Amino acid sequence: MKGLIFTYVLAYGGSLVALFNPFAGLLIYICFSILKPQMVWPWSVPPGHYSRIIGVAMIVGWLFHGFGRWNFGRGRVLLILFFLYWLWMIIATLFSVNSIVSWPYVETTFKILLPFVVGLTVLHSWVQIKQVLWVIIGSIGFVALEFNLSYFSGYNRAALDGFGSLDNNGLAVIMVIGFGLTFFIVNGIFPWWEKALALIINLLSLHTILFSYSRGGMMALIFTASFGFFLIPKKPKHYFIFAILLLIGIRLAGPAVSERFMSSFASAENRDASAQSRLDLWIDCVDVMWHNPIVGIGPANWALIASDYGWEDRKAAHTTWLQVGAELGLPGLLLIGCFYGICFKRMWPIARGQIGEHEPFHQAVAQMVIGSLVGFIVSSQFVSLINLEVPYYLVLLAAVALKLAPVNSSNDGKSQISVNGGIILRSLSKESKQSYGKI
């Protein structure tokens, strides 16, 4: 019943609000894209077009408000790359093996691109960035809570059912992103109550990854945690927190999870069929790229030719990046690679505090984005998640952050970050640090 009330209030009540405040509509749209109410509560929420309802209201409100502000700053390149990637999908569809299955794929990507544009035009402050971050974190946390409740009640939904159209590996990828985002809140300069909430969601996400039995998710978890520890400041308290999280992770894993993960590194003679099949699928995707290097075989067409390589009909490729190359050719793979790569490159100096003077929250946003993207990029090599929405929303936050904090050169040759015309000083005063939690 709680799921039904929650869904109806946000879908129908939220759509009315979105007509006057498209930013509120965007928050609900992002929440629904992660939470998927009819999938997380299938016993109480009937099938329906809840995301479409709020999405249409968001677009109408956006139109009534003059399409927002189109000053993208240094975030413009990310929007251009996303648009070119989507445009290349259309070109690849025109030359695809079967365009009938390709067009829905193009439409799904457009449903991510359009909110991306809306977000770039309606997000104008770091306060809004923080609100979007917490909507993403809270939605992932609620999904993790539901799967943990099911697990402790005796039924492992994560491993047996997955999450909607996602299998256990896809669910693990979402949890890795949630773990990455909350890791930097726990170890950052945030109010104690935000840290406490983030720690709970962090542990719920961690446990969900473990009992999902996804080897790709476990490997991405290790990369995310290690990379995150590299980015955060190294003070005794950070070593202590990291050690505690590590011990909790080891305790939660147990022998069955450890054995499952270590099978990823088994020799060819001892490797199980699932692990070996992934390597064979990767080789086959590379072969498709070799023979179709320009436009590929068309979006969503790998499943149609899998049987040509000896696989069962409609066999999943189990790799996001090589499947993109096989279906969209090398230009498509290059575009999506540049989309994430340039985001990573431009956020990296901010995350490391190398490009000038900034507030800790700006640095924390950069750390959360690139830390979570590392986990996504690694785990996506083991599962096909081409149109997973969450990573695109992380890049959206990066684009907005770049828009708000363009790099300028000062007269003494040192680069600084100008936010809305003002220079943010790295050495915050005591009063500034105390008011930081109000962001």
Residue 244 confidence (pLDDT) above 60: yes
What pLDDT score does 354 carry? 66
What pLDDT score does 232 carry? 74
d(CA 408, CA 431): 26
Lowest-pLDDT range of 38-47, 152-161, 170-179: 38-47
Residue 87 confidence (pLDDT) above 70: yes
What pLDDT score does 275 carry? 66
- Rg of the chain in Å (alpha carbons): 22
Q: How many residues does the chain have?
A: 439
> pLDDT tens, 18-54?
999 999 999 999 999 999 888 888 888 888 889 999 9
> pLDDT tens, 112-137?
999 999 999 999 999 999 999 999 99
| Mean confidence (pLDDT) of the chain | 83
Residue 274 confidence (pLDDT) above 80: no
Residue 251 confidence (pLDDT) above 90: no
Contact predicate 191/437, CB 8 Å? yes
> pLDDT tens, 317-369?
889 999 999 999 999 999 999 999 999 999 988 888 765 555 678 888 999 99
What pLDDT score does 88 carry? 97
Tell me the Ramachandran region of residue 329: left when phi exceeds 0, alpha when psi lies from -120 to 50, beta otherwise. left
> pLDDT tens, 392-428?
999 999 999 998 874 543 333 344 444 333 333 333 3
What pLDDT score does 356 carry? 52
* pTM for the whole structure: 0.85
Domain boundaries, the chain: 1-67, 72-434
Structure-model confidence comparison of residues 84 and 257, the more confident one = 84
Rounded to 5°, angle at Cα 332 from 281 and 62 = 120
d(CA 121, CA 135): 18
Token couple for 187:
């170890």
